[in-house]
Amino acid sequence: MAPAERFRPSVTVAAVVEHDGRYLLVEEHTAEGLRLNNPAGHLDPGESLQQAVVREVLEETARHFVPEALVGVYLARLRRDATGEEISYLRFAFCGTVGEPEPGRALDDGVVRALWLTPQEIEASRARHRSPLLWQCVSDHLAGRRHPLGLLETDASVYALRPPP
């Protein structure tokens, strides 16, 4: 019997940003159409989780993000409606603050706009969520889930030896 293929979920990061009762989301083009998501994306080689979430928020919202806590770690297996493909994601969701948009900075390809929605608006738009993790992360933030950033360790010496390409 051949050994099973090793399980390799896609590692992603997401930002949960609340200000005055509204949450920062992005509206983006996907294979399933226009969808809403937390500012989020994949961990790149040579990045720490915190570096990745800061980069993703800047790319998708043109705002600088300062992580303050870890909201949660989520393992989810999702099926893409358009292709039927199943993908497993390991998401690290951070909460924090953002500054004003950087003037003239273009948003990532596919991102139409950044917008602020209330929890009620987010819940009412669940059919447009890119992933059920969007609402789960917001719900956990609303419930007060916060874990210290010190839980996440990065071996700086390893990353110093292998800088990003």
- CA distances from residue 14 to 3, 88, 145, 160 in whole angstroms, order as listed: 33, 15, 15, 24
> Which residues constitute the domain of residue 87?
10-149
Residue 160 lies inside a defined structural domain of this protein: no
Tens digits of residue pLDDT in 42-69: 999 989 999 999 999 999 999 999 999 9
pLDDT at 164: 46
Query: In a 3-state reduction of DSSP, which class is residue 131?
Result: coil
Which two structure tokens, joined as six digits, stand for 124? 């009412």
The number of beta carbons lying within 10 Å of the beta carbon of residue 16 is: 25
Residue 126 lies inside a defined structural domain of this protein: yes
pLDDT at 155: 67
Q: Which of these, 57, 25, 22, lies nearest to 128 by C-alpha position?
A: 25
- CA distances from residue 85 to 64, 81, 82, 145 in whole angstroms, order as listed: 33, 8, 8, 31
pLDDT at 156: 59
CA–chain centroid gap for 29, Å, is 16
Residue 154 lies inside a defined structural domain of this protein: no
pLDDT at 161: 43
Residue 144: CATH number of its domain: 3.90.79.10
Residue 159 lies inside a defined structural domain of this protein: no
pLDDT, averaged across the chain:
91
pTM (whole model) above 0.95: no
- Count the domains in the chain: 1
Q: Which residue has the higher pLDDT, 46 or 141?
A: 141
Tens digits of residue pLDDT in 91-130: 999 999 999 999 999 999 999 999 999 999 999 999 999 9
pLDDT bucket at 6, cuts 50 / 70 / 90: confident
Residue 163 lies inside a defined structural domain of this protein: no
pLDDT at 3: 64
Which two structure tokens, joined as six digits, stand for 66? 């300062």
pLDDT at 2: 56
Q: Which residue has the higher pLDDT, 159 or 131?
A: 131
pLDDT bucket at 153, cuts 50 / 70 / 90: confident
Residue 138 lies inside a defined structural domain of this protein: yes
